[in-house]
Structures are given as C-alpha cells and as structure tokens.
Amino acid sequence: MRAMQQSPDLDPTLPATMPIAGHIDPVPVPRPGLVDGVTPREDGRVDLIGLTKKQIAAVFETAGLDAKAAKLRAKQVFHWLYHRGVTDFEAMTDIAKTMRPWLSERFFIGRPEIVEAQVSSDGTRKWLLRTADGHDFEMVFIPDADRGTLCVSSQVGCTLNCRFCHTGTMRLVRNLTPGEIVGQVMLARDALGEWPNSMQRPRTDGSLGGGDLRQSGAMLPEAPAFAGAQVEGAGGQGNSWDNDEDEAAYTADGRLLTNIVMMGMGEPLYNFDNVRDALKLVMDGDGLALSKRRITLSTSGIVPLMARAGEEIGVNLAVSLHAVTKDVRDEIVPINRKYGIEELLQACADYPGSSNARRITFEYVMLKDKNDSDADARELVRLIKQYKLPAKVNLIPFNPWEGAAYECSTPERIRRFSSIVFEAGISAPVRTPRGRDIDAACGQLKTSAEKKSRAELDRLAEEKMAALD
C-alpha cells in the first residue's frame, strides 16, 4: 500500500491534536496554560497584545507547539501584531492557512473598546476607551504642523489628588495592563492609517475619531494667546517635549503619530512594571519601533522610582513641579508631603542620561495668585541652577473644569513669568491650550465621562451604530 503523502498545506509545526476543519473532533483542544504575566480571557483565549516575543513563544508552547516551532511562530506573529498592526490571524500570509484557525481558536488580538470619540475645533482628538472588564479611561491625540503627539493613560483614575487636576478627583480603579497601554498606541495608528503599507485610511464614520486627520486644517493649533512669550504648540514648536531633535526623520514619510507622552490619566510610576513593559514594546525595533527620544514619561515626583525609570526605560523625563515653595506644592501636589522639592530635584539631577542635549522638562501650571508671581519665577530659576539641572520649563495655562478651586493666570502674568525664566537662560515656552472645548486639555481628562452616565454613553453608541446600518 502506497504511503500517504502529506498535504502541501498542512503545517508540520501544528500539534497532532489540532481539529481538522469540517470534522468533529471528540478530543479536547489544548488551551494555553498559565504563563507568568499572562491571564486568559473569559473565553479561554489569550490576548497577544501586550506580550513580548518570549511570552508569545511561551503561550504557543503551552498550547502544544514544540519549543522550536513556538519560537519561530512567535517571531512571525510578533511582526504582524506590532509592525503590521493586523487584527486578524487570516491576514498573516506567511503562516500556513491550516495554522491560522488554530491560532484564532486559542488566541485573540485585542484593542481597547472605543466608547466615544470627539474632535476639537483645533483638531485635537479624544477617545473614551473601555477595558474588557468595563472600566473607562481616555487618550488624546494632538496634531501639529510638524508632529503628532499621543497622550497615553497608565491608570483608570488616580491616587495623587492634585488639586488643579480633574483626574485627581477620581478614585483609582486599577492599573492598566501592558496590553491596554500599548493598545492605545496601536488604536491611534489604526485611526491614522499609519501601519506600514497599510491600505487602511482614517475612518470617516466617527468610530476612530471621525474625518480625515490629514486635512491641513486639522493639523494646525489654535492661535496663541500669549504673544511676546515663548509659545509651545504653535507652528514649528509643536508640543516641545523634545524640540532639539531634527524632525525630518520623523515626518519625511508623512507619519502623523511621532511622539508619545505618558501624561494621560494616572501616575505612570505607580504602575511601573506595566508602563515599562508597554514602552519596551513601543520601542522594539521589530515592532512599533518608536525612538525613546520620541517618548516622554511624566511623574508628579515618585522619587524612589525615578532612577529606576531612567535605567530600565530610558525615555525623556517630565516632572509635574507646579510650585517652588513647600506650602504651595503641599497644597496643589500632595505627594510633596512625602517627597519634598529638594529631594525631587536631587532625583532629577541624578536621572540617568540627562544632559544639555536631553533636558528634563518641568511642567508648571499657571494658577492666578497662587504660584505665578515674579518671586516664584526667580525661585524656580534659582532651584534649577542650584541643582545644575539641564532643564526646560513648560508653562501650562490652567484649564478650567467645573468645581475647580483655581483660576488661570492672566496672559500678561504668564508672559512676565516666562520672560523672567527665559532671561535667566532657561527655555520657558507657554503651552498652547489644546482641546479645551472637548475637555481634552491638560488636567481635564475624564471630565466628559464623569458628566455622562454609562447608560447615556451606551445609548449614544447604539444610535451611532444604527446610523451606519
């Protein structure tokens, strides 16, 4: 009897217990078991977004592939997930057709659920997103003429209770996972149609933000209200978290998402491991491949973790300073009661990799009659020079929200403050407010979700889907 020849479409790396399409297999299909850091979904499948190549290989091996095949398939799948941005295993054309159903049955390619998408009059986009277990958080995309910055959240809610920040009025629900953090970047690339050789164009049905983000009108910020001061977020300055680097390498290919700032909901250093793991995926040269010089991590001053962030993540550092005296910072940034200004500035001086070419950014919200005097500006200069910090200062006009106890400093006062710092040789641009009309500006995140009930958001989503039918 002639030996049976193997079908050319049959993948020899598949485990023998794989069910054959069109047949009923009474043998239970092996499922991915427990791998460190990996929790299956309720349906038993494992979401691959947020996993490294090593973790993907581990879950493949646990699901039945031998070690060599698992490593090979993990490398292929990692490329399709993070470099190509596919959301369907059937799109992975270098993987045998017979293996794709095997992957689909055991694994999942997730994205955060979009609950609501809003577009500001200045082109800023804000998404209200929902985790698989039903918790809401937000991300913001800020387009400029020469760059696009994605503001990424690290937690659902926050514990820091900064008095000027609306997010600080929320309770902390939980940390976001690496997949939920990197998923924000991937979702933004979906919306912008920016995966390599992608046929996808920006969506026009509103589900990913509405409209074509490549319209020139959506790429320009509002006119600055602080003439005479250094202005950030206008023309070539963009969001100057890293203005010193040549933009040509990042915009020559027409890419819109060029920068990431960990300045959304939550304190990134209180979710250190997940933020680190997510940003390593973003920086992986085989995946999203965004330079660490394009990423800024903001902290309110969790001093014990700052050096570790520099060593293990290595991205740009921004510090939410906001005051230069103990009494005022104790009031508006309560973490100061635990880690004082001097301790914080010494941690900045010790931050690995800081230099004149890679300055630390100090965020400073301008609050009327609270932290905006000439004396405050001079003390800020003194502190920066005392600790010999390679630094720049972003002055942020306070963005109002209902119930806030503060007002924004006047444009004249902000100009004066900026001039004092600038004349001392320290860059002090004024950040142009972006997305205020959709509560997407600094300190306003989650406001719109707080104003609407879950039932109302669900109703709006249903109406939008019905309109598309």
Torsions phi, psi for 60 (to 5 deg) = -65, -40
Q: Which helix (H) or strand (E) holds 364?
A: strand 360-366
Q: Beta strands 231-232 and 174-175: pairing type?
A: unpaired
In a 10 Å sphere around its CB, with 0-12 CB exposed, 13-18 middle and 19+ buried, how is residue 228 labelled?
middle
Q: Which helix (H) or strand (E) holds 74?
A: helix 67-78
Q: Copy the structure tokens of residue 345.
A: 């500035």
Q: What is the CB neighbour count within 10 angstroms for residue 455?
A: 8
What three-state secondary structure class fits 469?
coil
What three-state secondary structure class fits 406?
coil
What three-state secondary structure class fits 195?
coil
Secondary structure tally for the chain: helices H, strands E:
13, 15
Tallying the residues shown for the chain, one arrives at: 469
Catalytic residue numbers, as ranges: 138, 442
Q: Copy the structure tokens of residue 35.
A: 């791998």
Q: Copy the structure tokens of residue 49.
A: 């977004």
Distances from the Cα of 53 to the Cαs of 58, 75, 77, 289, 294, in angstroms? 9, 6, 8, 14, 23
CB 464 within 8 A of CB 206: yes
Q: Copy the structure tokens of residue 305.
A: 């973790």
Q: Copy the structure tokens of residue 159.
A: 């514990």
